[in-house]
Amino acid sequence: MRYRELTVSGAWEVTPTLFGDERGVFLEWFKDAPFHEAVGHSVNLMQANCSVSAAGVLRGIHFADVPPGQAKYVTCVQGAVLDVVVDLRLGSPTFGEWDSVVLDDVDRRAVYLSEGLGHGFLSLEDGSTVVYLCSTGYAPGREHGIDPFDSDVSIEWPTRGRNGLELELSLSDKDSNAPSLREAERRGLLPSHSDVLRYVENLQVAPKGQR
């Protein structure tokens, strides 16, 4: 299992070791020891989600108030998605920047993004199934989003799916009407980089179960 930190600090690409034969494939898609070594603390698991999407479905960009925020450990068990992480932390050296990883049922990579980062993905195939572990439970009052097509962020979303055909994008009303990065900042929705660092540092020193 290999960890590679993305250009957005606080996010990692995780590449598992695959053991395959004529019967199929086995892998460990999460393991605490290498996770702790890379990130500095264990996963504080409070909720596990599963999302199934048709080709062209775009979900995000989502984020949550910090504290406590919502860290996510994400993989795609069927199909393929482009998984995107955006730095929404005011005062961060990489504020407004993004990075991406293709998650699919071939390489079976995962992405971990810590608190304060924005997250979204675009399904590249019908039936793409994304599962993710969350550090906090769903709380609509403290969860927000920004426009995934905001020109100030300029995410390069794919225009064609896994089969090479042109994608017809589909978003929820909430994501379609999400504010721009600048508008979210004006409304006071974005997390502070210093608050996020303080919260993550507390995770690194707190005993498991006391976070």
Residues present in the chain in total: 211
The verdict on whether omega for the bond into residue 140 sits within 30 degrees of 0, i.e. cis, is no
CB contact at 8 A, 121 and 171: no
Residues classed as catalytic? 62, 132
* Integer CA distances (angstroms), 161 to 31, 55, 171, in order: 31, 7, 16
Please name the amino acid found at residue 182. Answer: R
Strands (E), 88-173: 98-104, 110-113, 117-123, 128-134, 143-145
**Listed residue (50, 32, 176, 202) closest to 115, CA to CA:** 202
Give exposure, 42-58, as e/b (b: 16+ Cβ within 10 Å).
ebbeeeeeebebebbbb
Q: Which tokens belong to 205?
A: 């020193």
Q: Which tokens belong to 3?
A: 């960890």
Task: Give the DSSP H/E element, type plus range, for residue 205.
Answer: helix 193-205
**CA 32 to CA 14: how far, in whole Å?**
12
